[in-house]
A = this chain, B = another copy of it.
Amino acid sequence: SGRLPIAAAVIHPVVLLSIVDHHNRACKNTKKRAVGILLGTVSARGQVDVYNSYAVPFEEDERNPQVFFFDHDYVEHMAAMFRKVTARERIIGWYSTGPKIRPADPDIDDIVRGFCASGRSLYLICKVEPTELGLPTETYVSVSDESSVLGVSSGVRRRVFEHVPCSIGALEAEEVGTEHLLRDVKDAAAVTTLAADVSAK
């Protein structure tokens, strides 16, 4: 299309935790999914770095999956608020807790793409309840149907989602604090699981 392609996505750890948290707060024990905006940068070589995110008010009709409410004004307003703290980070895509691509997603992607300076939007699906080993995240870029060969077709839609390689952002070596925190968090998680295991017996 002549536009800057997205070649790969690097997701910063805090983004994944925020998405899981958003889902647990807003969607736990429901059939709903959590939807929000990804903030970050796009390099000249097409690498998207996702540094931050925010939840967006979202509703969709269970019986008619094309009917949804996605708050445009909220998206724009929040992006402006975040820019006051970190000017460098822009809207570069969106996330959903899927767990799969849904019928409304090409339409949501259209909206988000309108906010992306590169004209391409990264779509991150984060599965909050993984059933297999490995990273429970998938990233996609929507492309015009005719330019797609390996794309996942969403049926009658004019755009399809193509897979983009995705990894968890490597932490810089000097970010000792983060590693320190992660160790503590990990320990806390292990202790809690153990406690749950014990009390279940």
Q: Does A17 contact B (CB under 8 A)?
A: yes
Q: How many copies does the complex hold?
A: 2
* Binary interface encoding of chain A residues 133-144 relative to chain B, with 1 for a CB under 8 A from any of its CBs, else 0: 001100000000
Instruction: Give the size range of A's interface with the partner.
Output: 35 or more
**A170 neighbours in B (Cβ, 8 Å):** 188, 191-192, 195
**A21 neighbours in B (Cβ, 8 Å):** 12, 14, 51-52, 178
**A51 neighbours in B (Cβ, 8 Å):** 21, 25
Determine the distance from Cα of A77 to Cα of B80 in the docked complex, in whole angstroms.
12
Q: Are A18 and B18 in contact (CB under 8 A)?
A: yes
Q: Are A77 and B81 in contact (CB under 8 A)?
A: yes
Which of B13, B86, B186 is in CB contact (< 8 Å) with A25?
B86
**A180 neighbours in B (Cβ, 8 Å):** 130, 136
